[in-house]
Homo-oligomer: A and B are copies of this chain.
Amino acid sequence: MAAPAAETPAPAAEAPTEDAPAVASYEDFMAGPDAAMFTVNNLWILISAALVFIMHLGFASVESGMCQQKNTVNILFKNLFIVCIGALGYMAWGFNAMYPGDWTISNVFAFGSPLTNTFYDDSAEVVANLTGAYADNGNCYTYWSDFIFQAMFAATAATIVSGAVAERVKLTSFMIYATILVTLLYPITGSWEWGGGWLNQFDGGSEETGQFIDFAGSSLVHAFGGFSALGAVLVLGPRLGKYTKDGTKPILPHNLPLANIGVFMLILGWFGFNGGSVLSADPQGVSRVFVTTGMAAFAGGLGAILISWIVLKKPDLSMALNGTLAGLVGITAGAGAITPWGAVLVGLIAGGIVVVSVLLLDKLKIDDPVGAISVHGTCGIWGTLAVGIFGKEELAGEKISFMAQLIGTLSISAFAFVCSFALFFILKMIMGVRVDAQEEHEGLDVAEHGSPAYNDSQA
C-alpha cells in the first residue's frame, strides 16, 4: 500500500531477495541500536491494520443503515463475506500479484502466488529478509505486518461495490464477482503504482509531466471501487419503483443511528488507512497525515451540510455523513502532500461535490442506494486531481503535476469500470445478477436468508 509519499516502488512487499543485508539473526538485530525504532514502526502498521479492519464494520453499518429494513441481513452477510474472502483471496493470490517479484506482462500484469508459509524458518537468510532487512531498508515492519495491512485494504474495494448494488443483486453472483474483484482485478491496478509498475515508473518519466501521487489510494482503492460500482450498477439497473413516470421516488434509509455508527467507524479507521500508509511511525509524517485526514473529514461534513442545505432546503443528515466520507476520500491521495489549510479546502470541495454527484446520478437514473459511486468514484478522482492543484510543487525531489494525476486516475478508473462491467455482464449471461421482482419486493432478508433483521414478537 501506498508507497511512503515519495513514489518509489514499495519495497516492503518484495519477496525475500538474495542480496539481503548481512544480518546474522533476528535476535542479533533486536539486540542492536535500531530495535526500538523497528518495534514502534512495526507496531503502528499493525495498529493501522486493526483500524482499517474496523472500516469494514463502518461499511456494513453505513450500507445497511442507509438501505431498507427488508434487505439488512443480506447487506450484512455480503459485507462479512467480503472481508473473509477478500483477506483469504489476497493471501492465496493477490498479495504476490500486487507486489510482483516477476511481471508476466511487463509492468502491467503479474501472476500471484500464495503467501509464504515459512513462519518459523529461523535461518539467517530468511530471518534477515523477513524482518531485520525490512527495518534496515527503512521499511520498518515485518513481512507479516505488510501482508495483514494490505489484506485489510484489499477487501475495501469490493465493499464499495456492495453498497451500490444493494437491495437487488443476486447473492451468489455477487459473491463470485467480489471474489474475482479482490483477488484478481484490484491487485492489477495496485501493482501499476504500488507494485512498481508502469504508472509508478511513469512518475519521473518526463520533466513536464511529473510523477503520479496517490498516497493511500484515492484512485487505487476508492476510484477503483467507485468505478467498479458504476460498471456493476449499469449492468444491474435500478431498484424497482425507484424511477417511475411520476419521477424519482425517494427510498428512505431504515436506520440512521446505524449509519451514523458506520460513518464514525470509517473516520476512525481512516486514521489507520492514511496514517498507516506513511509506512512507518515517523513523527512528522504521521502527525501531518492525522491533521490533513481529520480536517478534510470535518471540512467535508461542513461542505456537504452547506451545499445540501442550499439545494435541498433542509439540514440533511445523510448528506452530512456522506460529506465526511467524501472529505476523507478526497484527502487520501494527498494526505502527505497537502498543507492543513489545503486539506480543509480539499475536504470542503469534496463535501460539495458529493452532494452534486448524488443528485446528478439520480437525474441520470443511475441508482446507487448509498451514494458509493459519488463518495468513492467522483471524490476519488477529485482527490487525485487535488494533489495536482493543492499539493506542493515537488515531493521527494520529483515534480507534481496535474497532468500526471489526471492520467493516473483516469487509467485506473477506466480499467475498473470496463473490467467490472464486463465481469458483471458475463455473470448476467451465465447465471443472472438480479433477484426476481417478487423477491425484491419481499426483501432479500426473508427471500434469500429466511430471516428478518429485526424481530419483536415471541411467546
Contacts and interface: CB of A to CB of B under 8 A. Distances in A.
A421 B448 CA distance: 41
B142 A283 contact: yes
B77 A286 contact: no
B252 A255 contact: no
B458 A257 contact: no
A83 interface: yes
A434 interface: no
A451 interface: yes
A321 B80 contact: yes
Interface in A27-83: 30, 35-44, 46-47, 49-51, 53-54, 56-57, 60-61, 64-65, 68-70, 72-73, 76-77, 80-81, 83
Interface in A257-291: 257-258, 260-261, 263-265, 267-268, 271, 275, 281-284, 286-288, 290-291
Contacts of A305: 81, 84
A87 B294 contact: yes
Total copies of this chain within the assembly: 3
A294 B254 CA distance: 31
A252 B53 contact: no
Contact of A148 (B130, B290, B321): B290
Nearest to A441: B459
Interface residues of A, number: 119
Contacts of A135: 283
Contact of A282 (B30, B64, B302): B30
B88 A286 contact: no
A6 to B, nearest CB: 13
A42 B145 contact: no
Contacts of A70: 458
A23 interface: no
Contacts of A432: none
Interface stretch (A188-196, A222-230, A339-347, A409-417): A339-347
Interface of A: 26, 30, 35-44, 46-47, 49-51, 53-54, 56-57, 60-61, 64-65, 68-70, 72-73, 76-77, 80-81, 83-85, 87-88, 91, 114-115, 117, 119-120, 130-131, 135, 141-145, 147-148, 151, 171, 240-241, 251-258, 260-261, 263-265, 267-268, 271, 275, 281-284, 286-288, 290-291, 294-295, 298-299, 301-302, 305, 314-318, 320-321, 324, 339-342, 344, 392, 441, 448-459
19 contacts: A36-B37, A36-B40, A40-B40, A40-B43, A42-B283, A46-B271, A57-B265, A57-B268, A61-B257, A81-B305, A84-B298, A91-B344, A120-B339, A131-B283, A135-B283, A142-B283, A252-B451, A253-B451, A314-B450
